Amino acid sequence: MVRQVAASGYRSLRDIRFAADRLSVFVGANGVGKTNLYRALQLIQAAAAGNLARELALEGGMESALWAGERRRQDPVRILLNVGFAASGLPLPGSARSHDVAGGLSYSYSSEIGVRMPTSAAFELEPQIKEETLTFHGGKRPVVLLDRRGPAVMARDESGVRAAVDIDLMGSETALGSLEDPTRFPDLALVRRTMLDRRFYHDFRTDAASPLRQPALAVASPMLASDGANLAAVFATLVHIREDTEELDRVVDDAFPGALLKVPPPQRNASFGMIFPDYPKRVFEASELSDGTLRYLALAGALLAYRLPAFIVLNEPETSLHPDLLDPLARLIAGAASRAQIWLVTHSEPLAEALARHGGITPRKVVKHQGATRIEGLTIAGQLREEEN
């Protein structure tokens, strides 16, 4: 599980650190920086994939991504990202059962991104990876497995020997994404695989040309794509391969009492439709469904799929949904949290309250103070105050 996240120098995230649980819910008004929390996680994943610099370049380069508020003259112009991992049964970092901030962690990865030096082989606004560190915390003392400073990389191999790695890294490349030899660097491969086992569901299109409304190729699909393009195949996999629709039928009936999801046996393509109690003999195809109904079904596909990723991130899943669907949605999300770690950002207080009831969690209130995104009640150790006792 992801147990700790920290970011500084990125957009409105001046300096923030917090613990993550099985289900983490962040609620706040528009403009307080919830999306920046979401994007920080995407950037951490991009470091593992080797395209961190590209992701930042898509935002407009370092000029757009850097903290825009006041800074002390001596402070380096850097974006710092850090993530810590631990087994799900271990105490949260910084909690009363943990003796220090890193207590309970198995691994932590950090990356520092800055601007190009005048003599660097890089474009003017191109993000440059200045430092990277991967640390193992499972022994008597922390052990640095990867240490990158500029182009120089030191790493421990499968025998634990620390040595310089002969690799020609450009400033825009991450060492974690480039050292892809799982035999020589098994710990790096483990952490990279963990960081890549995530799905970000930012926005499901529901317009007439939406991928959700189109048939999908009849290929067994254990997991929903980020854009939902294989939704019909995900449903077909549950219905015709797993042949167990009890949970799916229950979730559909919970949201649309008396309705049925119809998934015909796939031929070249997979498709689905809905039967509503007012029209028991009429199948409404995906192209005919309302935006809210289609979006809810996409969320059901994401959270009930044959196999879930280790970590799921949902950004404002309540968009286009009728208020009556928020309670069923909360039950759906809380149930999925038993199979995957879920992180959710929302501006809907009713959804946050429903998740508190059904998930047994405390939503975290995101606010902005003097231009910086903060979480109400957060201590320096990254815990909510009521979690300290």
Q: Which of 27-36, 69-78, 85-94 has the lowest mean pLDDT?
A: 85-94
Task: Burial-class residue 190 by CB neighbours within 10 Å (0-12, 13-18, 19+).
Answer: middle
Could you tell me if residue 330 is inside a domain?
Answer: no
Q: pTM higher than 0.85, yes or no? A: yes
Could you tell me if residue 33 is inside a domain?
Answer: yes
Q: Which of 44-48, 63-67, 311-315, 384-388 has the lowest mean pLDDT?
A: 384-388
pLDDT at 61: 86
Asked if 3 and 86 count as a contact pair (C-beta separation under 8 A), the reply is yes
Q: Which of 79-88, 118-127, 364-373 has the lowest mean pLDDT?
A: 118-127
pLDDT at 379: 62
Q: Which of 292, 308, 324 is the endpoint of a domain?
A: 308
Q: Could you tell me the residue range of the domain that residue 245 belongs to? A: 207-308
In 3D space, the residue among 379, 366, 343 whose CA is nearest the CA of residue 44 turns out to be 343
Mean pLDDT (the chain) is 90
Please tell me whether residues 108 and 225 are part of one structural domain: no
pLDDT at 204: 93
Q: How far apart are CA 137 and CA 98, in angstroms?
A: 13
Q: Give the best-scoring range by mean pLDDT among 60-69, 121-130, 215-224.
A: 215-224
Task: Burial-class residue 10 by CB neighbours within 10 Å (0-12, 13-18, 19+).
Answer: buried
pLDDT at 147: 97
Q: pLDDT tens for residues 34-54? A: 999 989 999 999 999 999 999
pLDDT at 120: 64
Q: pLDDT tens for residues 301-341? A: 999 999 999 999 999 999 999 999 999 999 999 999 999 99
Could you tell me if residue 349 is inside a domain?
Answer: no
Could you tell me if residue 339 is inside a domain?
Answer: no
Please tell me whether residues 274 and 180 are part of one structural domain: no
Please tell me whether residues 158 and 211 are part of one structural domain: no
Q: Give the best-scoring range by mean pLDDT among 124-133, 276-285, 368-377.
A: 276-285
Asked if 359 and 23 count as a contact pair (C-beta separation under 8 A), the reply is yes
Strand partners, 25: 344
Q: Which of 308, 326, 352 is the endpoint of a domain?
A: 308
pLDDT at 1: 87
pLDDT for 126 beyond 90: no
pLDDT at 139: 83
Q: How far apart are CA 291 and CA 227, in angstroms?
A: 15
Please tell me whether residues 212 and 300 are part of one structural domain: yes
Q: pLDDT class for 206, splitting at 50, 70, 90?
A: very high
Please tell me whether residues 254 and 122 are part of one structural domain: no
Could you tell me if residue 338 is inside a domain?
Answer: no
pLDDT at 96: 34
- Residue 201 φ then ψ, to 5°: -105, 90
Please tell me whether residues 189 and 212 are part of one structural domain: no
High-pLDDT (> 70) share of the chain, % = 91
In 3D space, the residue among 252, 251, 303 whose CA is nearest the CA of residue 275 turns out to be 252
Question: What's the token pair of residue 172?
Answer: 């825009």
Please tell me whether residues 227 and 269 are part of one structural domain: yes
Please tell me whether residues 172 and 212 are part of one structural domain: no
Count of residues for the chain? 389
Please tell me whether residues 157 and 83 are part of one structural domain: yes
Q: Which residues neighbour 311 within 8 Å (Cβ) at sequence distance 6 or greater?
A: 1, 2, 197, 198, 199, 340, 341, 342, 343
| Residue, of 273 and 385, whose pLDDT is higher | 273
Question: What's the token pair of residue 159?
Answer: 């025998």
Number of domain units in the chain: 2
Please tell me whether residues 218 and 190 are part of one structural domain: no
Could you tell me if residue 337 is inside a domain?
Answer: no
Read off the pLDDT of each residue in 141-153 and give the average, rounded to a whole number.
94
341-346 and 23-27: which strand pairing? parallel
Please tell me whether residues 182 and 272 are part of one structural domain: no
- Residue 207 φ then ψ, to 5°: -70, 175
Please tell me whether residues 35 and 142 are part of one structural domain: yes
Q: How far apart are CA 79 and CA 14, in angstroms?
A: 9
Q: How far apart are CA 300 and CA 295, in angstroms?
A: 9
User: What does the CA dihedral 226, 227, 233, 238 come to, rounded to 10 degrees?
Assistant: 50
- Residue 110 φ then ψ, to 5°: -135, 150
Asked if 243 and 236 count as a contact pair (C-beta separation under 8 A), the reply is no
Question: What's the token pair of residue 200?
Answer: 């970000």
Beta-carbon neighbour count of residue 342 at 10 Å? Answer: 24
Q: Which of 244, 275, 308 is the endpoint of a domain?
A: 308
DSSP 92: P
| Residue, of 100 and 124, whose pLDDT is higher | 124
